[in-house]
Structure 1
Amino acid sequence: MTTLNCTSANPWPAGPVKVRVDVFNNIRFPADGLPGPVIALIGSDRAKPVALEYTYDVTVRWKNLRTGRTGKVFVPGRGFTVKWQVDIHPGHGPVAFTIHQKLGALAFNPMVNPQYSSCSGRATA
């Protein structure tokens, strides 16, 4: 397991949203129920819940560096904190991935003042 920092500007008038992404590999029973090998990416801002909600779209693009296989996973979410999980199924081998986050304020509309960030990492499946 490793942890990435994927900080984003805050769509609310507050400090940055410090999203930490835990990267897990060799998972026997992934959350999505599909067979392995699986790499699980779990993002969380680990902040105390606030009174105002966020909406977020997370897209992960990945490439298996051994086989050349590529893929993309999209996960939308909403909450008083930023928490998401993406399971990728790249096959065996080293995998490079990029996480794209779009965070918005939920203020009568679902994605007010969207803020964009990205980070990258590698893991072996």
Structure 2
Amino acid sequence: MGSWCRGRGGSSKARRRAAVGALAVLTAATTGAGVAAAIPEYSDPNLATTLRCDSPDPWSGQPIPIRVDVYNQIAFPADGLPGPAISLIASDGATPSPVFEYTISTRVDWRNLDTGRTGSVTVPTRARTVTWQVDLHPGGGRVAFTIHQKIGVMAFVPMVNARYSSCAGHTTA
């Protein structure tokens, strides 16, 4: 035994028993023996629809073709809040630029047409392509939403030459 063990209290046999006990507790906790599992089983979301939500490019002014996939019936959304949820995932499908970045502010205003609940979610994004994700928690029912995009470029500061666009859609939560 090394000198680090001397004078630490108890015999080496007692320390080994404590270590084995700690290992048993750790093993039980990680295997779920008698402990509730914290990680839920993954469930596939349902692709409800795909929207086109094009926006002017802050670099050239030409339209950026942006597809927004709308998923519903999501039990475990990416934002970590309890489901069910609706997830909007946008992408321009372009090859990422090695030189410049976009800064994006996306706001989605929603209304549950069955319950009357309303809400708004704003998500900032910085990426080499136009891409973002917004998770909505409107409760069950028919949901209408409006997407507001503000897209600028990162040129020492965010949102240089910002361009604005909006589009709308609906789905069932």
Q: 1:14-66 CA deviation, whole Å, 9 max, x = no partner?
A: 63211110000011211112112210000111101122111010000000000
- The corresponding residue for 1:41 is 88
Gaps of 5+ in 2: 1-47
- Higher-Rg member (1/2): 2
Is 1:73 the equivalent of 2:121? yes
Q: What is the alpha-carbon distance in structure 2 between the residues aligned to residue 31 and residue 109 of structure 1?
A: 28
What is the TM-score of this pair, normalised by structure 1?
0.96
**Which amino acid counterpart does residue 5 of structure 1 have in structure 2?**
R
The structure whose RCO (Cα within 8 Å, separation 6+) is larger is 1
- The corresponding residue for 1:109 is 157
Which structure: greater strand fraction? 1
Gaps of 5+ in 1: none
Q: Indicate which of 114, 119, 122 corresponds to 2:167.
A: 119
Q: Percent identity?
A: 62
In angstroms, what is the RMSD of aligned CA positions?
1.0
- Residue pair 2:66, 2:90 contacting (<8 A) in 1 also: yes
Moved over 2 A (4+): none
**Which amino acid counterpart does residue 155 of structure 2 have in structure 1?**
A
Is 1:86 the equivalent of 2:134? yes
Q: What is the alpha-carbon distance in structure 2 between the residues aligned to residue 121 and residue 29 of structure 1?
A: 22
